[in-house]
Amino acid sequence: MICLAPERSSAADVIHITDKTSFFEVAPNYITKFKDPSNKLTIADILKLPVTDFKQDEKLYTEDPNASYWIKFVVAPDIKDRKKWVLEILDSRHYDVELYAEGNDGKYRAISTGLKLPFASRNYLHKNLVMDLDLKSNENTTYYLKIHSKVVGSILFKIRSNEEFSSYAFNEYYFLGIYYGIILIICLLNLILYFSLGEKIYLVYSIYVLSWGFNSMLDDGIGYQYFWSSHPIISQIGFILSNPLLLVFFTLYSKWFLDSKTIHPKYDRWINYSMYFYLANYVLDKLVSYPGGVIYFLFLAHFLFVYLVSIQVYKDGFKPARFFIIGNTFIILGFILRFTKDLGIVDISGNISIVAIYSRDGAIILEICILFIALGDRFRFLKAQKEEAQAKIITQLEENEMLSQKVNRELEQKVTERTKELSEKSVELEHLNVKLELQAQEINKWNQILDLDNHKLKQKIKQVNEARIKSDDVSYEEFLQIFPDDLACQRYIEEIKWTEGFQCKKCANKKYFTGARIFSRRCTRCGYSESVTAFTFLHKCKFSLVKAFYIMMKVNKYSDEVNCAELSRELEMRKSTVWEFKNKVLECKEGKKMDLDYLLLHNLK
């Protein structure tokens, strides 16, 4: 894109480059920023904006992943050597990057790079975003850098001489080779241990280490350079999924290592809640876009929470957790240093910035190595516990064997003594058995006589009580001798209702089992439950069944001549209630003669 450029001035400091300068890291005071939320403005639109629209900002990162950020800076070279200079953006995750420089003809020309373009289209086949700067001695040049990230990324960039960049790039790739080599070795070792020992924790740890490797390849651009250079969409999807996947695998490994589900179920639930909280907020962030740094904080907060839980587990006696604590100490410190750099919280410049950028990678190496040692320590700890437990079991078994032999000897001696005594007593017992048999026959004879007398006495008492109930002057207190409570009434109804057996009203099945309520029956086929009072006029009776039976007995004897007022006083019931139930009994009595209600009344009479 080419456009005529009007006269411009900048409120930011001018970047001075001399022959002694090997690289220059751009700080916030050297740039001004303009945010384009629409992501549609062109360089022509930007050049028409007032100078005041560009603001100085301490935040060297893209707060809004969906917006474009225009960065303006001025370079004032004072150079005599014919060096080549490049601008290097240290964060390789940006989707679209365009650098506009004013040419000799006063027009601005663009250099484009970023993940939207194939890797082979870059002028420098380097994992970072590198573009040429045409610096002219003693001529101030205004540059406009457009960055559209689609992620919250750092906009930190450096101006380097070509020689310094080559040296730096060689050392950087050397370091990354060592880094990914260690990750691969640790991963393969754990897979070998998994197939050898069959312990699933080694497989989980291998996946956790691989997730670190994938996350790092996305972060530093190695994956895009060497593995999916023709498919930038993999990086775009990876930026969305890498952190949640890393956190999930870290959580699974931590839970397996600490054995929280078995030994510390309370801690296990807390870890799960923390993970779910982060994942829910991560999804919400993709929908409503949280303020910059919030998701970073929640991500780090989960690591800190698991870190605190591991300390508590160590205090509870799980000694292998000490290496887990040490390893995660490094990764948390690395995260903090990296986040402070990416989010511009602390100004880290010069050679220290390299430490900040690769602090996480160094911390990852330390962590996975220490956690690998922690796995070995965990194995030794559990093995020692198992051996100690086995030793205690063996000692206990030996003690039990000695005790058993001692008890057996004593028992043999006792058995011998008791056998002699029993042989002497057996003769006496034979004589006593003969006497006991004679006495038992005599006792059985008298028991039969007593049982017969008791049966006759009970029959007489029952006949007397029934005779009194059937008499005209029976009282409620006397009636309670036969029906003392509702259970006696329900038992009476049960005997009449199911005399000929149970049959389900819905499916006609005759098999049943006891229902939830007393005396109820539940069909074995359809599950229909029938109470003992169902399909009778006593169903859902609002007062005691004993009182209902008493009223039924009176109505059977006196029909409509029953004195409701007298019954209400005797039963302590409202007269209207007694009168209504009396009419209900009379209606049943005058109705069908073979239904269940009639049988209740007939048998009660």
Listing DSSP states for 430-473 in one string gives HHHHHHHHHHHHHHHHHHHHHHHHHHHHHHHHHHHHHHHHHSTT
Last residue of a domain, one of 114, 132, 162: 162
pLDDT of 405 > 80? The answer is yes
Nearest of 104, 16, 64, 502 to residue 285 by alpha carbon: 64
Of the chain, the percentage scoring pLDDT greater than 90 comes to 8
Q: What is the pLDDT of residue 6?
A: 38
Return the bridge partners of 76, or none: 16
User: How many other CB atoms are there within 10 angstroms of residue 438's CB atom?
Assistant: 10
The answer as to whether 587 is a domain residue is: yes
Pairs from 179-187 (Cβ < 8 Å, separation ≥ 24)? 179/216, 179/361, 179/364, 179/365, 180/213, 180/216, 180/222, 182/365, 182/368, 182/369, 183/209, 183/210, 183/212, 183/213, 183/216, 183/364, 183/365, 183/368, 184/213, 186/368, 186/369, 186/372, 187/213
User: How many other CB atoms are there within 10 angstroms of residue 103's CB atom?
Assistant: 13
Distance CA 514, CA 118 (A): 76
Contact 161, 85 (CB under 8 A): yes
Distance CA 40, CA 539 (A): 79
Nearest of 127, 309, 120 to residue 220 by alpha carbon: 127
Tell the residue number behind the tokens 């017992």, with chain if given: 429
User: pLDDT (tens digit, 9 = 90+) per residue, 141-198?
Assistant: 889 999 998 887 788 888 988 888 888 888 888 888 888 888 888 888 888 878 887 7
Residue 121, φ and ψ in degrees, nearest 5: -80, -5
Pairing of strands 85-89, 529-530: unpaired
Confidence band of 491 (pLDDT split at 50, 70, 90): confident
Tell the residue number behind the tokens 């007298």, with chain if given: 566
Q: What is the pLDDT of residue 599?
A: 56
The answer as to whether 92 is a domain residue is: yes
The pLDDT of 536-562, averaged and rounded, is: 82
Supply the CATH number for residue 25's domain: 2.60.40.2380
Residues found in the chain:
605
State pTM to two decimals.
0.54
Last residue of a domain, one of 143, 162, 181: 162
DSSP string, 11-53: SSPPEEEETT-SEEEPPGGG-EEEEETTS---HHHHHTS-GGG
User: How many other CB atoms are there within 10 angstroms of residue 340's CB atom?
Assistant: 15
pLDDT of 351 > 50? The answer is no
The answer as to whether 86 is a domain residue is: yes
Work out the mean pLDDT of the chain and round it to a whole number: 80
User: How many other CB atoms are there within 10 angstroms of residue 213's CB atom?
Assistant: 20
Residue 81 is part of which domain span? 3-162
The answer as to whether 393 is a domain residue is: no
Nearest of 26, 33, 84 to residue 57 by alpha carbon: 33
The answer as to whether 377 is a domain residue is: no
pLDDT of 333 > 50? The answer is yes
3-state secondary structure of 107: strand
Confidence band of 339 (pLDDT split at 50, 70, 90): low
The pLDDT of 403-416, averaged and rounded, is: 84
The answer as to whether 327 is a domain residue is: no
Q: What is the pLDDT of residue 348?
A: 43
Q: What is the pLDDT of residue 600?
A: 61
The answer as to whether 435 is a domain residue is: no
Confidence band of 471 (pLDDT split at 50, 70, 90): low
Cβ partners under 8 Å of residue 485, min gap 6: 546
Last residue of a domain, one of 162, 185, 219: 162
Q: What is the pLDDT of residue 378?
A: 64
Q: What is the pLDDT of residue 161?
A: 87
Pairs from 136-140 (Cβ < 8 Å, separation ≥ 24)? 136/77, 137/77, 137/78, 137/79, 137/80, 138/77, 138/78, 139/77, 140/14, 140/74, 140/75, 140/76
Cβ partners under 8 Å of residue 199, min gap 6: 193, 379
Contact 373, 323 (CB under 8 A): yes
3-state secondary structure of 522: strand
Q: Give the number of domains in the chain.
A: 2
User: pLDDT (tens digit, 9 = 90+) per residue, 218-246?
Assistant: 888 888 888 888 888 888 888 888 889 98
Task: Pick the more confident residue, 593 or 578.
Answer: 578
Confidence band of 596 (pLDDT split at 50, 70, 90): low
pLDDT of 75 > 80? The answer is yes
The answer as to whether 123 is a domain residue is: yes
